[in-house]
Amino acid sequence: MAALSEYHAQRNSLIDADLSLRREYRNLHSRSSKELEADKIMRDIRALEAKTVWTADYPSIPHPFPGMEFLTGKSIIMKTKVFEILSKMPKGALLHAHLDATVDIDFLLQLALKQPGIHIRLHKPLSKSNLSTNLPEFRILPQEQYSQVKSISDPTYSLQTWVSLVNARNFFSQELGGMEGFDKWLIGTMTINPSEAYGTYNTLAKIWDKFGTVFQTSTNLFHIEPIFVEYVRQFFRSMIADGISYVEARINFTPKLMYGADGQLNVPHRTWLQIFERVMNEIREEMKQQSRGDDFIGARIIYSVVRSATPEELVWYLEDCITLKKEYPHLVAGFDLVGPENVLNPLIYYAEQLLRFQERQKEESLDIPFIFHAGETTGDGTEADSNLYDAILLGTKRIGHGYSLHRHPKLVEECRQKGIAVEVCPISNEILRLTSSMPMHPLPALLNYGVPVALCSDDPAVFGSMGLTYDFFQVFVASEITGLSTLGALARDSIEFSTLEKAEKERALGVFERRWSEFVEYIVVEYGAK
């Protein structure tokens, strides 16, 4: 039937036209035959696992499906071949991660236990029933103030008294689980578990409350110099292990000082940058020693301030950022405002100061791009949603989250035309209840509209989603359009839209292409027809 074959031809053109803006479509027809083969292999494994791994019977998971709630599905994800393969994928750059939420909480706790000065205290008595909401406070004390108190869980414990972390752990009441119970309790206060995300705090507004307490507790430990040093080191090591070769980490500079090893609050921002740089160089050296120099291109910092600052306070931070940029131009990648957009101040509130900041940069011949969080919301026309207008008008280099961006025709067009990439954080969005699961996430709309996207992990320590493999996994299994080449395009764009200088970027992209070929080869050799 001629009409039918003509219909099929029209249909193919319509689909092509519809998908033609996608970033991977630019090179779709120049892909190597190896990549085509690997793409097919990955699609086949995905299809097979959707029917096997994802339909199997799991006692504690009533109805699993690909792209399901991450915290519940994680144990299944880890059983899949797709996950195993993606863990070996070169990921390009990590462009959106809050440094204070990037290292495994287990590891952080081990770091803290190694520091004899670290103490813990409580503001209400600990009991079995309040373990999950009784938040501890940490501090490093000067040696002369080290505490001799043994237990914080004993009925004799006097509230607000500091106890050394080691003692608190060693003498943790057996009723509350002893040392194991102690670790479990602390880890619980610094992470989000499934029953919290999908039960107790199962709304946008409520989960931010839990999220806030998580940061309140963990940054207590993070802001201690000897821990900070090892934290940064572990972050670099773990990201490299996951195939990430470059990072632009957001550091919250709202606190003006962190604690030194001497127990004094005396370590200024400048030292934070020096530590970051020193550790980065050490890791570079470490990688070179292992003949893996190319696996770590480097790291930069996005200077961030919590959006609860007054406009006057913000001016201080903007000047601080300028000062640091002058001294460490290769370290300061950009500027951002952080914290819940629906609760704290919108960008427009700071318009005057932010415009002035741009003038100041001209005066100082500096370039500190804005890299704003905006539109991390399901709201339509709310302040958080409207932050997208300001971010773009203020010339943001990228958009953090941009969850509501796909709804805005003009802004989508601007992002595509001006090359404003969106830092999409799939697992973060889902755990923070912007979306219930991956199939409902707006990422496919952004991709089809040709907006450049970099996948990011946001706060992997809080979510237990270390690296980028989990995020790539969730994206890959929730769309039939997305294939291996889509993942490649996402990884390339993470480098392309970084703040790396031209020469550095070319090197990073060159390294990426070599690693990508190896990855494609690995898929074909390991999983192809034998």
Q: Catalog residues that contact its own copies under the rule CB under 8 A.
A: 1, 3-4, 7-8, 10-11, 14-15, 17-18, 20-21, 63, 65, 202-203, 205-206, 348, 351-352, 355, 359, 378-382, 385-386, 389-390, 392-393, 406-411, 434-436, 439-440, 442, 444-445, 448-450, 478-482
Instruction: Rank residues 258 and 354 by Cβ distance to its own copies and give the closer one.
Output: 354
Instruction: Rank residues 181 and 442 by Cβ distance to its own copies and give the closer one.
Output: 442
> Collapsing DSSP states into helix, strand and coil, what is residue 308?
coil
Name the minimum Å distance from CB 392 to its own copies. Answer: 7
Alpha carbons 487 and 492: distance in angstroms, whole number: 9
Instruction: Rank residues 12 and 160 by Cβ distance to its own copies and give the closer one.
Output: 12
Give start and end residues of each alpha helix (H) in 346-452. Answer: 351-364, 383-393, 409-418, 426-431, 443-448
Cβ count within 10 A of residue 25 = 17
Q: Which residues pair with 298 in a beta bridge?
A: 246
- Long-range contacts, stretch 267-275, CB < 8 angstroms, 24+ apart: 267/225, 269/320, 269/324, 270/324, 270/327, 271/225, 272/228, 273/301, 273/324, 273/327, 273/328, 273/331, 273/332, 275/225, 275/228, 275/229, 275/232
Name the minimum Å distance from CB 82 to its own copies. Answer: 16
Name the minimum Å distance from CB 428 to its own copies. Answer: 16
Q: Which residues pair with 370 in a beta bridge?
A: 335
Instruction: Rank residues 400 and 442 by Cβ distance to its own copies and give the closer one.
Output: 442
Name the minimum Å distance from CB 476 to its own copies. Answer: 11
Alpha carbons 103 and 466: distance in angstroms, whole number: 8
Instruction: Rank residues 1 and 529 by Cβ distance to its own copies and give the closer one.
Output: 1
Q: Which amino acid is at 291?
A: S
Instruction: Rank residues 206 and 507 by Cβ distance to its own copies and give the closer one.
Output: 206
Residues in the chain, how many?
530
CA angle, residues 336, 320, 458, in degrees to nearest 5: 25
Instruction: Rank residues 395 and 510 by Cβ distance to its own copies and give the closer one.
Output: 395
Instruction: Rank residues 229 and 348 by Cβ distance to its own copies and give the closer one.
Output: 348
Name the minimum Å distance from CB 431 to its own copies. Answer: 14
Q: Which amino acid is at 426?
A: P
Instruction: Rank residues 11 and 288 by Cβ distance to its own copies and give the closer one.
Output: 11
Name the minimum Å distance from CB 137 to its own copies. Answer: 28
Q: Which residues pair with 259 in a beta bridge?
A: 224, 265
Name the minimum Å distance from CB 444 to its own copies. Answer: 4
In 188-280, where do the E strands start and end? 244-252, 257-259, 265-268
Name the minimum Å distance from CB 313 to its own copies. Answer: 19
User: What tokens were used for 209?
Assistant: 């409350």
User: What tokens were used for 263?
Assistant: 């127990």
Name the minimum Å distance from CB 380 to its own copies. Answer: 4
Alpha carbons 286 and 268: distance in angstroms, whole number: 27
* Burial letters 250-274, b for 16+ CB under 10 A, else e: bbbbbeeebbbbebeeebebeebbe
- Cβ atoms 208, 155 nearer than 8 A: no
Nearest to 375, CA basis, from 354, 406, 348, 353: 406
First to last CA, the chain: 40
Instruction: Rank residues 66 and 181 by Cβ distance to its own copies and give the closer one.
Output: 66
Instruction: Rank residues 36 and 176 by Cβ distance to its own copies and give the closer one.
Output: 36
Distances (CA, A) of 288 to 189, 208, 231, 251: 38, 41, 21, 27
Instruction: Rank residues 245 and 386 by Cβ distance to its own copies and give the closer one.
Output: 386
Q: Which residues contact 418 (CB under 8 A, 6 or more apart)?
A: none
Name the minimum Å distance from CB 54 to its own copies. Answer: 11
Name the minimum Å distance from CB 457 to its own copies. Answer: 22
Q: DSSP letter at 27?
A: G
Name the minimum Å distance from CB 198 to its own copies. Answer: 10
